[in-house]
Structure formats: structure tokens, C-alpha cells
Structure 1
Amino acid sequence: MRNDMITQPTAAATHADDLLAAYQHDDFFLASPKGTLLCRGRRATVSLQDGSAPFGEQLRAAVDTSDDPATQPAIAVGALPFDTYRPAELVVPHTVHRGGPLPARSDEPDQGIGIPQWNTETIPDAAAHQHAVAQAVQQIRSGAIDKVVLARVIRLTTAQPLGGRVRRILRNLAARDPRCYTFAAALPSTAGTRTLVGASPELLLSRSGTTVMTNPLAGSAARSPDPAEDRRRAEALLASAKDRREHTVVVEAVVENLRPLLRDLRVPSHPSLVCTATMWHLSTVITGQVADADIAAVDLARALHPTPAVCGTPTDRARATIGELEPFDRGFYAGTLGWCDATGDGEWVVTIRCAEVGDHELRLFAGGGIVGDSDPAAEVAETSAKLRTLLRAMGVHQEL
């Protein structure tokens, strides 16, 4: 069957838990509801540039010019940064291992990653972020932009090496919420080894054959351990005019970007609710068929990225506002990560709920969508809560 040919790995398919246990800090790992992928090594790279040959042709050329084409998997993997103007490339790995989805677990994550004390810095601090949100609200109310997403970062440093602890962080994230897209990818760096690791709730898009699916999330609410309160919060989110407006902006932008590339677009008229272990989200599943077989999953990902869910709208003005108000470089936070094969099939996720792990540094990111009726104090509280949740999920025990 065609799908068997697409997913044929270099090594035999393996149980998902075994792939997680085998992960090393310079591998590529992605676990999704469809299955688990572990890629190792670098045999070639594929540069992503506008106006170049179709991605499938580039990937086949990279395979054909490798040292041993017979063992080269026709797949490329990697992460793309938030800034779409930066150079980007994907890696063609030495080996590809596939397994089923990670199993659901009832046990709690590991009790920490073995660092008793960190030096901690939050950028921007609460007061500065509240001021930035107020400035953004002012711009929105003046009509300069419709929405912008502003983020914060916690920078934790330690004298102890962190590279060997990425696997434990990855295991903690997978145990906390196997419904998310759990990932780890080595990043290009001139300052030692750096790895992007996280558990995102959001699929940017997938392509299988001619069928494309994207699932934008926008509008969220924290969950409660009390079932009645949890349901009340979910229903309040679904009825929230502010969150529905924020969600509609994202869906409309996704549809506008996909319309020239897909046919038979199907867009539900109302959002639905989805949840992770800690959050409720407004969700819309959009499907369509590729208009041209040469349009690969990575091409569609680049056409959509960045969505208003991580940037804002209009995109260029929102991105400029982020540059003015955020005092740090996002790097690969709010970018996209995934894989694409030579037929054009692939899967790409939005890199949120994530951290960048260096030799002695851990940077965690969290953001929130700002619209005209956003409350600056509430936005500070939201990002602080997200950062604390992410710390706990990774097994980092540090007070903010």
C-alpha cells in the first residue's frame, strides 16, 4: 500500500516507549496521536528558499547525491524559527525509526531533573510585561493592528551540564500529557549544543496523500481539578465573546492563506472545545485537498506560519509590534517543527509550550493573545501561570 511505502523506515518499526528511551540529545523526536518518530544523524540538508525547485525534487536530489542512496530515508525533519526571514533548512537523517502513539500513563512525571538550585531571570518582568500589554492594547484600539501575541521567557542557568537531562524532560512531558505533540530537535547554534523540547497542543497542519488538515487553536482557559468547575470553565470559554473573536481572527487568516493552495476547503461554522491536562482551548479542524501534487506539507506549513495564534494580525504589523515590545529573541519559540517526505506527506506542529536547552541554560517561553479588551494585569497572570505549569511539567522545581 502507498502509506506503507511512505513510512517505511530504515530500521524496523519500534514500540513508542523504546523510541523515547533511545532518544539522545542530538536526535529528532516527535510523538503525535498518529505515531512516534525518532531520527538520528545528518546525511544531507535541504535548504528552504522561495522560488527553488519543489520540495520533493530537492529531497530526492539530496538522497541521490548522498554517499549511500540505498539506505537513505526519503524524509527530512527539523524546526523552523519564528522569524520567517531567517534562513531555514531541514535535515535528512541517517536512520528513521517509527512507532505507534505514546501510551497514556496514570503515573506522575519524574520527580525533577536533578538540579537543586537555579539562577533565574524573567524577561520581561511582571511590571514591564504589563506595560507592554497596555501599549499593545492602545495600538489595537487605535486601529494600528487587530491582534498581537506577546510572550515572556524565563532564563534559568546552572553550573551543571544539562545535555544529558533532555531525555528526562522529554519523558516528563510525555507522561504529563500524551495527547500533546511531544518533541525535541537539535538546533543550529554557534554557542554549544542547543535543543528545542516541548509538548505542544497545536497541530499546524498535516498532509496525507492529497488530504490536508489544519487545527488552529486560539482562546484558552485553565482547567480545574474539580469536575463541575472544570466544565463551567469550558462552557464559559465557549461562550466568551473575547475568545470567540480571537479564535475567528485566526481561522479566517488560516483559510485566507490556504485558499490558493487547496480545493474543497471545509471550515466548520463554530469552534469546538479540546483540552490538554491543564488547559481548555477553542479549536477548529479545517480540511481540504491539495490543488497541486507538488505542494508539500512543508510548503503549506511555511504558507501558514506564523498564524495569528502566535503572531497576530495583520501579520507584518503584528510582527513589527512584537519586535518593538518583546525584549528578547524568540528563536524557535512560536515556530514550527515536523517532517516531510519526498511524496509531500508530512506533519507540522506549532512550537509552543516549549523550552530551549543549552549546555548550562534553560529558556522557557509562554505567551498570550492581546486584543482590544485585554486586561494587562490578567495577561501577566496568564503568562506567569503558563510558565509555572511548564516548569512543573518538565520536572523543574523552582519558585518564580
Structure 2
Amino acid sequence: MAQPAHRYPSLLQALETRLGSLLRQHGGGSGLLSLTLGTPELAFDRLPEGLNNCSYWARPANGRFLLGLGVTASVEAQGEGRFRALDAAFVEYRRLWQAVDADGLGFQPAALAGFAFGQEGAGDVPNSRLTIPTLLVQRREEICAMTFTCDRGGSPDAVLAGWMTLAGEVVAALDRNAPPSAAVLLQRFSSQPDDAVWLARVARAVTDIHAGELDKVVLARSIRVRSTQPFVPAALMAALATRYPGCIHFTHFFPGGGVLLGATPESLVSLAAGQVVSDALAGTDWHSGRLDDEKSLHEHRLVVNAIVRALEPVCGFLQIPARPKVFELQELRHLRSVIRGTADSGVSLLNLVERLHPTPAIGGAPARRALDWLARHGEIRRGWYSGATGWIGYDGDGEFAVALRCAWLDGNEAELYAGAGIVAGSNPRAELEETEAKLNAMLRVLGGQV
């Protein structure tokens, strides 16, 4: 068993006693077993300091926090059928999965998942992955719980020892204060593609849009920076939580050593008791200008219309705002419309993801033409940037957020990503400035400017 943190020895001892008893009661057989116990002593409201093999997902504004450690079951997929493959795997896990909410708190086990923008490849990470963590730490509003999951065919002693090792790591990590974000010197040493190439690509896109080849295409670029000291994910996430409490926060540690983290303003889709919610986020201002100009409104309408077309065949009712609202995020302002609906019976969260991804907010419109255009012109998006990250609960409810405003960390180096929606009224230089404004949101945090 891991060494208890000094504030929580009684919590760990109680967990070990109760888990041992519950394992004896519910263990054996085949499939998965999840045991959920309340942990009111835990102050879980952040990515803990010192963990280096976990996934973190949070909606602080809604009081929702998830932290997964260990892997009890996992599936990876790529290609045209990747979402269907993940969905089928989750259904199969669910078929032989017993969930015990020992304290009747209403918590349930969940899978954590993420995927890349494109169907094939993703560089150093799986194209798409769904994982059922061995330990899931959860907070909903003011209530915290731990969900422990195992293969029911495993040795009870070995299972309990593994659970307690992970619980000890989490408790010790939460007992530590995240280091304060300190100002560091950042050296910007590369751009992909370079500015001249990207500006030419924007100009070409505008020409092709005027020619009727497509209506919109989103062009991305990345920069690499180097710090004077290694980046600390917990400190960066704490800074992001301070600056962007209304965003969805995420962190994924990958076996190769890299870390993807960010704070995205855009939810791709959520499903809760049959109710569907999807964000249309398009139209950006970064210098207190107007967002009611025709270019911004046109770009936004393309996204709203595409989401509506994707959801109409599987939703019996849709609520579509007449006009977008302005979503303010420090130095950036976006047009946002929240589209709500009621899903038809049997429609899963990953069914909705497959219908929606990629929306014109990250790909373009019409979708197939925009994707073909991007492929022909050498668009490269590394990892899960502009894909999505999210969770699926035992009952099928959950949420995926578009992986934006994020960075890939590797020691003291970071790669940051940003994109701009190109339409008929786009000016290449202004679009470059927009991407710089979006990059600056993460650059400020990496540089310790909270």
C-alpha cells in the first residue's frame, strides 16, 4: 500500500477496509466491477501536483471534475468507423459491468476518451482512444467520490493492493499545494507552417471560396516555444482555471512522455437523460471591435446550420437561438449559440459525435469539400488538437469538448495551436492576427502571466 498522506491516513484505512469487504461481496465472475465510495474529506477541485500518468477533465463552472488513473480496459481505433468502434466496445463493456454505488451518492463509473481531428494518424498519440480507468476521482458540486474498477476475474488481494496504491498517490498529490505560477522567459523558435506559407494558403482559400468551391475552411498553424525551466502541468492548469473558469479544462499524460493540456471554450456535444446540447462557436474579436458584422455572422450561421442538419435526423425537437450571444474570455470574444434538442431513443453520445465532428467551426463547410481542400493543401494537425476530449458515464450520458486553446508539453518545450475560419470576406493578415491572439491566450499562461 502507498504511504498515506499525513492529513488523510484515516481515509485510506477506511477505504481499504470497505473495499476489501465489498470485493468479497461482489467479486468473482466475468466482466467489470466498479465500486464507488464517498470521500467527503478530499478537496478535489484541480489537477493534483505530481501525478504523471493520468487524465483530467473538468467543467469548473458546473462543479464537475474528473480524474482518471490506471487502465482497467481500453480500446483504440482509427479510420472511417472509429467512433462506431469505440461505441461498440463501450456497449460490450457495459453488458458485463456491475456498478455499486456503496454510499448512494448518485455517482457512476465512466470512461475517458479523446480523438484526433482526422480519421487517420495522430503523431505520437492514438488516433482515438476510450479508457475505463482503474481509479476515477469525481467531484460534482460539493460532493467527492472515488470509483474503483477491476476485472472481476482478478485476484482480490492483487486488485485491492493496486487500488490502494493509486488511492495513496491521489491523496498524497491532493495534499500538496500546486506550485505558484512563476514568470519564465519563453523563446519562440519555430512556426508550422511559416507565416508566408500560411498567408498564401489563406489567400488561396479565399480565391477558391469566391470561385464557389467551398463556403468556409479553417486553417490551423502551430508555434513552438522553449522555457528556461520544465513546464509544470498542475501549475499551468491552476493558472488556466484562474483565467478561464468558464471553459472546459483537460489534461492527458501519454506513455511517450508528452502532455496535452488546455482550456477550451467549445463543447462539441453533451448528452444527459436524453437531452442534447451542442455549441456553435464561430466569429472572433480580439481588439474590442464589432462582432455583428456580416462576415462574423455569416461564419457563425454556417456552423449553426451544420449542427442543426446533423442533429435533426436523430432529435425529435431542436431549440435554435435566433441570434448568437457574445462569449467573453479575457482578451478574446466569440459568437456562441447553444443548440439544444431531445435525442431519439437508442441514440448514443458517440453516435452524436460521429454526426457532428468536424463542425465548420474547426473544419469548414461543406464538410467534405473543406476536408478535401485541407488534405490537398497540406494541412497537418498534430495529436488531438481540434479533435475532442471527454467522458462517457455508465448510463451513456457524458460530454465531449473540442480540443482548442491547448498545448503539447515535452519537458521545457511546448507546441501551441490555433486556427482561423476563412470565408469570402477574410483578409489574410487579419486572420494571422486572429491566430496570434488565440495563441497568446496560452502563451500568457506558459509565461507565468496569470
TM-score category (smaller protein): 0.7 to 0.9
* Identity in percent: 32
- Aligned: 1:156 with 2:156: no
Structure 2 Cα separation of the partners of residues 159 and 392 of structure 1: 15
Moved more, 119-128 or 362-371: 119-128
What are the ranges of 5 or more consecutive residues in structure 2 without an aligned counterpart?
Answer: 1-33, 122-126, 143-178
Residue type at the aligned position of 2:67: L
Residue 93 (structure 2) aligned to one of 59, 63, 80: 59
**Does 2:269 correspond to 1:205?**
yes
Of 186, 206, 209, the residue aligned with 2:253 is 186
Structure 2 counterpart of 1:372 = 424
Contact 2:219 2:379 in 1 (8 A): no
> Which residue of structure 2 lines up, in the alignment, with residue 84 of structure 1?
119
Distance 1:62 1:352, change over 3 A: farther
* Residues 325-369 of structure 1 deviation map (CA, whole Å, 9 limit, x = unaligned): 355333211011100012110011111111111245311001100
Hey, what does 1:75 align to over in structure 2?
A: 110
Deviates more, 1:297-306 or 1:322-331: 322-331
41, 63, 68: which one aligns with 1:39: 68
In the other structure, the counterpart of 1:257 is 310
The letter for the 2-side match of 1:80 is: F
Give the number of aligned pairs. 364
Q: 1:243 aligns with which of 271, 282, 296?
A: 296
Helix, strand or coil at the partner of 1:98: strand
Q: Which of residues 195, 207, 210 is equivalent to 1:141?
A: 210
Mapped to 2, the partners of 1:167 and 1:19 lie a distance apart of 8
Q: After superposition, give the CA deviation of every residue in 1:142-180 in whole Å (9 maximum; x if it has no partner).
A: 111110000110123469654xx1111111111111111
| TM-align CA RMSD | 3.0
Q: Which residue of 2 aligns with 1:334?
A: 386
Q: Which amino acid aligns with 1:221?
A: D
> TM-score, length-normalised on structure 1?
0.82
1:154–1:326 Cα change, 3 Å: farther
Provide TM-score, normalisation by structure 2: 0.73
**Structure 2 vs 1, CA of residues 169 and 17 (structure 1 numbering), >3 Å: closer, same or farther?**
same
**Does structure 2 retain, via aligned residues, the 8 Å contact 1:14–1:98?**
no
* Counterparts in 2 of 1:203 and 1:111: CA distance versus 1, 3 Å: same
Match of 1:123 in 2: 192
Q: 1:396 to 1:138 in 2, by over 3 A?
A: farther
Residue aligning to 1:93:
133
Asked if 1 retains the 8 angstrom alpha-carbon contact of 2:284 and 2:334, the reply is yes
Q: Distance in 2 between matches of 1:134 and 1:13?
A: 56
- Cα distance in 1 between the residues matched to 2:36 and 2:418: 35
**Which structure is larger by alpha-carbon Rg, 1 or 2?**
2
* 1:215 match: secondary structure: strand
Query: C-alpha distance in 1, partners of 2:393/2:95?
Result: 12
Match of 2:326, SS? strand
What amino acid is aligned across from residue 304 of structure 1 in structure 2? L
Answer whether contact 1:217 1:283 (CA < 8 A) is retained: yes
Query: Which residue of structure 2 aligns with residue 20 of structure 1?
Result: 47
* Matching residue of 1:4: none
- Residue identity matched to 1:91: T
Q: Secondary structure at the match of 2:386?
A: coil
Q: How far apart are the structure 1 equivalents of 2:236 and 2:278? A: 27
**Could you tell me how far 1:26 is from its partner in structure 2?**
2.2
2:259 to 176, 195, 202: 195
Match of 1:308 in 2: 360
Kindly indicate whether residue 433 of structure 2 is the aligned counterpart of residue 392 of structure 1.
Answer: no
